[in-house]
């Protein structure tokens, strides 16, 4: 698996978790259910690609995950701003 794919999987996984945290905190039941499913689905790909990889793949995944945190937080903030207007 390429480094870009590993980075992207980390980013997507954690962006979904960040978004799901926002949804749970704001009681968005249906969207939290859907995103919760997506988290688990993406996780199945992560397990196959990261567990059997080396340290460099793990570091790239973690870097992608840190970017995913910011992406998910940004999506949550955008959703919150739209709701307040």
Task: Return the ∠ at Cα 41 (arms to 13 and 21), rounded to 5°.
Answer: 45
Kindly report, residue by residue over 27-71, the tens digit of the pLDDT. Answer: 889 989 999 999 999 988 887 777 777 888 889 989 999 999 999
Residue 62 lies in domain: 3-84
Residue 7 binned pLDDT confidence (cut-offs 50, 70, 90): very high
- Total of domains in the chain: 1
What is the C-alpha to C-alpha distance for residues 47 and 51, in angstroms, rounded to an integer?
Answer: 6
């Amino acid at each position: 698996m390429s480094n870009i794919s590993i980075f992207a999987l980390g980013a997507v996984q954690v962006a979904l978790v960040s978004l799901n945290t926002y949804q749970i905190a704001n009681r968005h039941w249906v969207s939290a259910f859907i995103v919760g499913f997506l988290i688990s689905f993406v996780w199945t790909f992560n397990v196959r690609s990261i567990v059997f990889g080396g340290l460099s793949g793990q570091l790239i995944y973690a870097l992608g995950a840190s970017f995913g945190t910011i992406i998910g937080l940004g999506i949550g903030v955008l959703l919150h701003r739209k709701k307040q207007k």
